[in-house]
Structure 1
Amino acid sequence: MLIDDATDRDWPAIWPFWRTIVAARDTYTWDPATPEHEARALWMAPGNRVFVARDGDRVTGSAYLRPNYGGPAARTANAAFMVDPAHTGRGVGRALAAHVLERAAADGFTGMVFNAVVETNPAVRLWTSLGFRVLGTVPGAYDHPAHGPVGLHVMYRSLEPAPGGDGAGKAGNPQ
């Protein structure tokens, strides 16, 4: 598996799984009826640093990295991840996460926050295994198609080295 920066030429390979994942309504808060041009504007926005995971010539997943806030709070990153459903369970999401966490730290971000993680999303286990913690949950904020109203977690992870300079907090070394 190779992970590299996405280009505009990668969007046609991202769009089919983006549409499928958002339409399923079980992990993303975006409107399932989002047209392609709006989805592209969300994912490939000029302020987003977009990555793709490749298996040969096939794009198997994608992620973006960006500041979550602006101005004096711009050191906190935000990211989003999608893995083609045909490639789940093969480590694509974990590899993308490790890559994005490393890039975020290298780019000077001191932490990463996810603003709305559906509490029933299986990726919650991945995020906690990588050192993210749930800061709080907005109860019943998400209308899940199978579970009804479920909470949305706000999750956070520091990207700064732990005291003593052992590198804890960096990708691959969760605190």
Structure 2
Amino acid sequence: MEIRTFEESDWPQVWPIVEQIVRKGDTFCYDPLQSEAQARDMWVVAPPGHVVVAVEDQRIVGTSNMYPNRPGPGAHVASGNFMVAAEARGRGVGQALGEYLLDWARSREFVGVQFNAVAASNAPAVRLYERLGFTMIGTVPGAFRHPALGPVGLHVMYHDFAS
């Protein structure tokens, strides 16, 4: 698997991954009814952010975006997201994208990476983030409206590069 910088011509393969995940509404705090154009504007972040794709056999199987978590006084902490195609889950794509995001943030001298809204019901993601070295800072009770489970918590998770 190769992880490389997103190119405009990649969007037709990235969009089905983003669409499937966002439309389900069970993991990300994104509007499940958003248009393709809205999704593209949200996912393809502008510099100093960065977007990548994970490619296997010339097929995109995952994608990640990364960026400063906040502007101004919060710009020294990174954040980001990653999504993996359903058929590629369990094969290390998420792990590779997470490692890439951490390496990207370290190389740009961020002090850590913060995930602001990890659905507590998304156990596979929580386990992956913990394997990558993230710790749970706290949980906002009932802040995520899961389509089947109802209100569930949203975790704030952090990877501190100093520790």
TM-score when normalising by structure 1:
0.89
Q: Residue type matched to 2:20 in 1?
A: T
Q: Distance in 2 between matches of 1:159 and 1:96?
A: 17
Please give the per-residue CA displacement for 1:95-153, whole angstroms capped at 9, x wherever unaligned. 11111111110011111001100001120000011111111111011111221110000
What is the RMSD of the two structures over their aligned residues, measured on CA atoms?
A: 1.0
Q: Residue 130 of structure 1 aligns with which residue?
A: 132
Mapping for residues 102-121 of structure 1, pairs under 5 Å: 102-121=103-122
Q: Residue 166 of structure 1 aligns with which residue?
A: none
Q: Distance in 2 between matches of 1:99 and 1:112?
A: 12
Q: Distance in 1 between matches of 2:57 and 2:74?
A: 38
2:45–2:65 contact (8 Å) kept in structure 1 = no
Count residues in correspondence. 161
- Return 47-56 or 27-36, whichever deviates more: 47-56
Q: Residue 150 of structure 2 aligns with which residue?
A: 148
Q: Distance in 2 between matches of 1:41 and 1:117?
A: 21
Which of structure 1's runs of 4+ aligned residues deviate more than 3 A? none
Identity value in percent = 45
Superposition deviation, residue 24 in structure 1: 0.8
Q: Distance in 2 between matches of 1:75 and 1:151?
A: 26
2:45–2:67 contact (8 Å) kept in structure 1 = no
Compare CA radii of gyration and give the structure with the larger one: 1
Give 5+ residue unaligned stretches, structure 2. Answer: none
Superposition deviation, residue 26 in structure 1: 1.0
SS at match of 2:46: coil
Q: Residue 65 of structure 2 aligns with which residue?
A: 64
Q: Distance in 1 between matches of 2:67 and 2:13?
A: 21
